[in-house]
Structures are given as structure tokens and as C-alpha cells.
């Protein structure tokens, strides 16, 4: 499984780096798995919400799974709201989903998915501070959930939920034993069940 985590100016650091850490450890142990940070517009640099400058070698392509971080939903500067308002990333995500790709979000990355029309009429979650906005967009909000899996659309709550999202997807796609092994390696106790997920 090839995973691309799309980063943009103002993305929340842990939203992107947490899942990337989980998926990168999995890729060292699993054949045909990879995790890459990509940009919206192509090669270049982006600056996270906390000032980390990230160099990306490519734009969002055709991954098996794209993960969208949040960050900056309530601010006026760079971040998830700017991405939603600009429309470029939402259009690319909508096109990717239409071609059958798996799309996931962490925190207010869910609002970018909402701007793409991907959460309309579907169960979803985001950071607690944006739940009303998510509901207003037409999503069926599940405020108590850390991770909401609706098949080809998987959303998660705020910030640290990204670790649970990644482990959930790892359990779903590679099996719970692999997910538990990676959770133990990164010394994180999952707050979602890893058993009983269908391996695809």
C-alpha cells in the first residue's frame, strides 16, 4: 500500500508526522508498503503550524491512501481553512476519491474533506472545535469517536487521534498483529480497538 500524506503551509505537525511515523515503521516490515510526505502543488517547501520547514519532492499523486492533516482551521493565516477556501486540494481529493482511492483525515483535515464534498451524508469526525462546522457541511457527525471508518472514507478527531487513525488503518489493511507490533514499537497505547477489523 502506497500512502501519501499531503502537507501544506500551516499543517499541524503531529497530524502529519504521527501517522507518517506509524506507516514508516510498518513499511520497514511489510512488502509493498510506503509512506511519503507530498505537497499540494508539487516539489518545494512548506512550513508547519509550529515552524518546521518540510521539503517535499512531489505533489499528491495516485496513492492507495491519502491522509490529510489539519491545523489552522480557526486562524486567518495558512492552514486547513486556507486550503478549504482556495479549493485546489479539495478538488484533487474529490477527483482522487472518484477514481476509487481511500481518503483519510486527521483533526481539521476533515474540514478539507468536507470542502471536497466527501463527508456529505456520511459519518465523520474532526477536532471538537470544528464539529459544528462539520455538521453544517452535511456530515453525520460522530462527536464521541476517535476514528470513524466508512469504508473508503476514514476520519479522526483532534491531533493525537492521528496515531489511532494510522493504527486502525494498519490493522484493517495488514492485520491487528502488525498494528499491535507497531504500537508497541512506538510505545503508544491505542485508544481504538485493533481486533475484529476486516483485512482487505
Closest CA to 118 of 135, 136, 132, 138: 138
pLDDT, tens digit, for every residue of 168-180? 999 999 999 999 9
Q: Compute the chain's Rg from CA coordinates.
A: 15
Residue 118 grid cell: 466527501
Between 42 and 7, the more confident residue is 7
C-beta of residue 112 within 8 angstroms of C-beta of residue 135: no
44-47/53-56 β-pairing: antiparallel
59 secondary structure, DSSP code: B
Cα–Cα dist 77/60, whole Å: 22
- pLDDT digit string, tens, across residues 140-170: 999 999 999 999 999 999 999 999 999 999 9
Question: E strands, the chain, where?
Answer: 2-7, 34-39, 44-47, 53-56, 65-68, 102-105, 123-124, 140-141, 147-149, 153-156
pLDDT at residue 195 in the model: 80
Rounded mean pLDDT of the chain? 96
Give the model's pLDDT for residue 197.
59
Taking residue 87's Cβ as centre, other Cβ atoms within 10 Å add up to 11
Q: How far apart are CA 139 and CA 123, in angstroms?
A: 6
Interval 14-26 mean pLDDT: 98
Percent of the chain whose pLDDT exceeds 70: 98
Residue 40 scores a pLDDT above 70? yes
CA-to-CA distance for 158 and 147, rounded, in angstroms? 10
What are the chain's domains? Answer: 2-185 (3.40.50.880)
Region 99-118: what's the mean pLDDT? Answer: 98
Q: How confident is the model at residue 52 (pLDDT cuts 50, 70, 90)?
A: very high
pLDDT score for 76: 80
Return all residues near 155 (Cβ < 8 A) that are at least 6 apart: 104, 105, 110, 113, 119, 124, 125, 126, 147, 148, 165
Q: How confident is the model at residue 200 (pLDDT cuts 50, 70, 90)?
A: very low
Amino acid at each position: 500500500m502506497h500512502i501519501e500524506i499531503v502537507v501544506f503551509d500551516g499543517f499541524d505537525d503531529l497530524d502529519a508526522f504521527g501517522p507518517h511515523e506509524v506507516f514508516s515503521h510498518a513499511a520497514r516490515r511489510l512488502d509493498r508498503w510506503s509512506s511519503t510526505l507530498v505537497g499540494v502543488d508539487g516539489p518545494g517547501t512548506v512550513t508547519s503550524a509550529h515552524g518546521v520547514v518540510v521539503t517535499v519532492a512531489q505533489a499528491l499523486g495516485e496513492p492507495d491512501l491519502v491522509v490529510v492533516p489539519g491545523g489552522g482551521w480557526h486562524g486567518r493565516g495558512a492552514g486547513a481553512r486556507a486550503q478549504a477556501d482556495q479549493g485546489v486540494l479539495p478538488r484533487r481529493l474529490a477527483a482522487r476519491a472518484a477514481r476509487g482511492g481511500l481518503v483519510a483525515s486527521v483533526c481539521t483535515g476533515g474540514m478539507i474533506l468536507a470542502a471536497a464534498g466527501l463527508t456529505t451524508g456520511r459519518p465523520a469526525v474532526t477536532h471538537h472545535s470544528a464539529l459544528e462546522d462539520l455538521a453544517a457541511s452535511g456530515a453525520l457527525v460522530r462527536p464521541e469517536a476517535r476514528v470513524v471508518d466508512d469504508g473508503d472514507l476514514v476520519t479522526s478527531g483532534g491531533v493525537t487521534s492521528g496515531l489511532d487513525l494510522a493504527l486502525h488503518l494498519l490493522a484493517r489493511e495488514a492485520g491487528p498483529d502488525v498494528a499491535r507490533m507497531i504500537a508497541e514499537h512506538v510505545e503508544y497505547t491505542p485508544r481504538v480497538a485493533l481486533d475484529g477489523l476486516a483485512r482487505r
